[in-house]
A and B are shown apart, each in its own frame.
Chain A
Amino acid sequence: MHIQVGVIDYAIMAIYVAFVMGIGWVLKRSMKTSSDFLTSGKSIPAWITGLAFISTNLGALEVIGMGASGAKYGITTCHFYWVGAIPAMVFLGVFMMPFYYGSKARSVPEYLKLRFNEKTRGFNAITFAIMTIFASGISMFAMAKLMEILLGWNFNVSILVSAIIVLVYTGLGGLTSAIYNEVLQFFLIVAGFVPLVFLALKSAGGWGQVQARLHVVATNGGFSSDAWTRSWAHMGSPAANPMGINWFALVMGLGFVLSFGYWCTNFLVVQRAMAAKSMSAARNTPLIGAIPKMFIPILVILPGMIAIALTSRSGSGFAIPKLADGTLDYNNTIPLMLGHFLPSGVLGLGLTALMASFMSGMAGNVTAFNTVWTYDIYQSYIKPGQSDKHYLRMGQIATVFGTIVSMGAAYLAANFNNIMDFLQLIFAFVNAPLFATFLLGMFWKRATGNAAFIGLMSGTFSAAIHHGLTQPAGATSLIKGGWLGHVVYTYPSEMAQNFWTALFAWTICFVVTIVLSFTTRQKKTDADLTGLVYSLTPRIKETGVPWYSQPATLGTIVVAVAVVLNIIFW
C-alpha cells in the first residue's frame, strides 16, 4: 500500500526540515539562562502559546487515531473535543492558571512541593519524567512504522533522522523553539488537511450524501440509522451507540476525571501556558487554544467519517482495507486518504503536516522532560545550590539524554508490544486520581501534605485493583483487565472500562484526601499558602486588559460556542 511520492513532495519536506532547524539556530542567541531555555523566560504572547497548547496534543498519533475513530464510531468521536477538552481548558484558564502562573513554581511538580510537600512532588516528578520519555518513544516508533508502511523508508533511518532533527531544534532553542514549531505545525495541519477534506467531501457528493451513507453504515452495524451522525441522541445506554458507553460514564469519566486530569495537571500542556508573557496571557492561553480546538474535528474526524461512507458504497473508488479476519483495518485511514485524494505537490504538504506533528509530539515531551528533570529532580535531589549556568548546561544535557532514551523506548515498543501497553496502563493508574489532588490543593486550604500523598497513592492503587477485577467484553489478554483472577464486572467496551477506572480512582483519592486532612496536622501556615490556594489569594484585577480579551469573557464565549455545537449535532 505504498503511496506514490514525487520529487516535489520530498522538496517540501526538506524545506520544512530546513526551517525547523533554522528556527532553533536563530533562537539559540537568546538562550542565556536556564529559564530562557526551559521555561521560555515567560515572554511569549498568548496567541502563540494558545496554538502551541493545542498543537502539543495534536500529535500525529492523535490525528491518525481520531480519523480511525471517526470511521469506527462516527460523530460521537467529537466528544473527545467538545466534552473531553473544552470544559477542562476553560477551567484551567479561568480558575487554575492564577495559581500556576502566580506562584513561583516553574513546573507542575514544583507547585505540588510548594502546596503540599516534597514526597508528593517527588512522586509526580519521577512518574511524569518516565512517562514523557515513553510517550516520546511511542511517537517516534509510530512515525517510523508509518513511514515504513506508506513510503517504504527504512525503520532505523527514520528513527535516527527524526531524533536528530528534534534534538537539533530543541537542543538549540529550548522550549521557545518547541513552541514555535508547534505553531508552525498547527498551520501545516490546516494547510494539508483542508484540501483533503474538500476533495473527500466533493467525491462523496457533499455532506448530505455522507449522512445518507452513514445511515446505511449504522443500520448494517445493527444500530439506529442516525447512530453515526448524532452525538448525544444514543448515549442513553451503552448498547445503543458504537462506543459502548452511556452519558454518565462519558460526562463524568471522560469529561470530568480524564479530561481535567490531562488538560489541567499534565505539565506537557500546562508548560505552554506557563511560558506566556503575563498573567492574562497565561490565563488566555487555553481559552484562545479552545477556539480552534472546537473545530479541529472537521479536519481530523470528518475524513474518517467520509472514509467509512465511501467504503460502504461500492464503486466509490475508496475503501478502507480489510484485515485477515475480514474486519476493517481502521488504523491507517487518514494516511490512505491522503494518498488517495492528493496529487503530488499538495500531497507533500499533507505528509509534511503528519511529519511535523510526529516531531512536535516528540519535542513537546522532550522539553517537558528536561524541565522536570533539571528543576524537580536534579536541582532538588541530586545537586542543589549550583550556578544558573550549571543548570542551563544540565537542561541541555537532559535534552540530549532524553532524546537518546526515547530512541531506546521506540525500539522497546518495536520489540515488546506488551511492555508498552503495560507501561501505558500503569501511567493511566497514576494519572487518574491526580486531578482530585489538585482540586483539593487549589480550592481547600485545609488539605494537608500527608493526606494528599496518601490520597494519591490510594487512588493509584484502587485504579489498579478496579482494572484487575473488571474486563471489557471480549477481552483475550490480561493486559485488558481481570488479572486478579476474579472478574467482578464485564464492561461493554474497553472505553467504558477506562472511564470507570478513572472515575473510581478519582473518587477514592478525593475521599481519602479529605478524610485524612481532618485527621492530620496542617504544617503549612496561611502565609505559606498565599498565592497557592483560592481562599488565600487576592482576586486578580485585570486592569489595562480590554473587556473582550479578559479570561472571563473569553471563557464564556468558548463555553457558549461549545454548547451550540453540541446542540446542532445532538
Chain B
Amino acid sequence: MQTDIRFPIGLLFTIVGVLIMVYGIFTRGAEMYQRSLGININIWAGVCLTAFGALMLAMAIIAQSKDRAAIAGK
C-alpha cells in the first residue's frame, strides 16, 4: 500500500500554520501590517492553515485505523 497523501499534507500545513500563527502573535502591531490594511493576517491565516492541517491528519489517522481493523478482522 502506498503512503496516504493526507499525512504529508496535514503535517506540512500544521507545521507552517503554527509557525505563521506564533509569528503573528509575536509581531502584533508591527509596522508591516500596514501592508495588510492593519489586519494581522498572519494570525488568521495561521489558524485556518492549522485547522486544515489537523483535519487532514485526522482523516488520515481514521482511514489508517479502519484499514488496520479490517485487516485484523480477517
| Chain A contacts to B: CB under 8 angstroms | 8, 11-12, 15-16, 19, 22-23, 26-27, 30, 43-44, 48, 176, 180, 183-184, 187, 191, 195, 199, 202-203, 340-346, 348-349
Contact = CB atoms under 8 A, between A and B. Distances in A.
Contacts of B30: 343
B65 interface: no
A16 B35 contact: no
A191 B42 CA distance: 12
B16 A199 contact: no
A191 B41 contact: no
A198 to B, nearest CB: 8
15 contacts: A16-B16, A19-B12, A23-B3, A43-B2, A176-B2, A183-B9, A187-B13, A191-B48, A195-B44, A199-B36, A199-B37, A199-B39, A202-B37, A342-B41, A346-B36
Interface residues of B, number: 30
A341 B35 CA distance: 5
Contacts of A183: 5, 9
B8 A342 contact: no
A433 B71 CA distance: 51
Contact of A27 (B3, B12, B48): B3
Contacts of A345: 20, 23-24, 27, 41-42, 45-46
B41 A22 contact: no
Interface string B1-37: 0110100110111011001100110010010110111
B26 to A, nearest CB: 10
A187 B48 CA distance: 12
Given A195-B45, A199-B39, A184 B12 contact: yes
A491 B33 CA distance: 48
Contact of B19 (A12, A22, A48, A340): A12
Given A44-B2, A343-B33, A345-B45, 9 more contacts: A15-B19, A19-B12, A176-B2, A187-B9, A202-B37, A342-B36, A343-B35, A345-B24, A349-B16
B17 to A, nearest CB: 9
A341 B9 CA distance: 26
Nearest to B20: A345
Nearest to A176: B2
B12 A8 contact: no
B60 interface: no
A23 B12 CA distance: 11
B49 interface: yes
Interface in B33-74: 33, 35-37, 39, 41-42, 44-46, 48-49, 52
A8 B11 CA distance: 18
B35 A184 contact: no
B21 to A, nearest CB: 9
B37 A203 contact: yes
A26 B3 contact: yes
A349 B53 CA distance: 14
A187 B33 CA distance: 24
Contacts of A184: 8-9, 12
Contacts of B42: 343, 345-346
Given A43-B2, A180-B5, A15 B12 contact: yes
Contacts of A346: 20, 36, 41-42, 45
Contact of A48 (B5, B12, B36): B5
A558 B4 CA distance: 27
Given A8-B19, A343-B32, A27 B2 contact: yes
Contacts of B36: 195, 199, 341-343, 346
A8 B37 contact: no
B8 A19 contact: yes
B45 to A, nearest CB: 5
Nearest to A6: B32
Contact of B32 (A12, A44, A344, A348): A344
B35 A340 contact: yes
Contacts of A342: 35-36, 41
A19 B15 CA distance: 11
A342 B20 CA distance: 12
Contacts of A26: 3
A15 B41 contact: no
Nearest to B30: A343
Contacts of A180: 5, 8
Q: Give the 3 A-B residue pairs with the shortest CB-CB distance, closest first.
A: A345-B42, A343-B32, A345-B20
Contacts of B2: 27, 30, 43-44, 176
A40 to B, nearest CB: 9
A316 to B, nearest CB: 12
A195 B12 contact: no
Nearest to A52: B5
B59 to A, nearest CB: 11
Contacts of B44: 195
A24 to B, nearest CB: 11
Nearest to A186: B9
Contacts of B24: 345
A16 B11 CA distance: 11
B45 A349 contact: yes
B27 to A, nearest CB: 8
Contacts of B46: 345
B71 to A, nearest CB: 18
Given A342-B36, A349-B16, A22 B8 contact: yes
A99 to B, nearest CB: 26
